[in-house]
Amino acid sequence: MKKLFKTILIFNLLINLSFSELVLIVHKDFPIEKISPKLLKKIYANKIKIWPHGGSIIRTVLRKGKTHKSFCKVLNQTPSYLKRFWKKQVFTGRGPSLKRFISAQDLIIYISTHKNAIGYADSSINNKLIKKITLKIYKGKK
């Protein structure tokens, strides 16, 4: 009985660790309510440069950490690939550099003052100056 209980407990822990809540964040007055993962990938692949409502897209990222790794998984990229890709975009004149932040709080402050910026954070954030768009992310192999 103890062995069965331990097995069930471990299984539940593994299931809970397999999912992470990541939220996209935008300015509180941002007119779009939903962004699909496909659109998000196009935005961070520099294939879409202007929002449908107008204005150049300002892409923001965290420099490192668990939240940044989760975000890169949504894009099907590694953190190092994303960094190299955007360095190449800037070097070849195809796009401006990503706005990179050390902390989620700095990223949130930036987005709260820039209406066309998009970024991400852990779902535990709570700030009235930004709008959250939730994505469920599977961390396991597909």
Q: What is the pLDDT of residue 137?
A: 54
Question: Would you say 61 and 67 are in contact if contact means Cβ atoms under 8 Å apart?
Answer: no
For 65, other C-beta atoms within 10 Å of its C-beta total 14
Fold of 21-138: D-Maltodextrin-Binding Protein; domain 2 (3.40.190)
Count Cα neighbours of 19 within 13 Å in the Cβ-side half-sphere: 9
Average pLDDT over residues 53-79: 94
Size of the chain in residues? 142
Give tens-digit pLDDT for 12-45.
Answer: 433 333 445 889 999 999 998 888 889 999 999 9
Give tens-digit pLDDT for 80-104.
Answer: 999 999 999 999 999 899 999 999 9
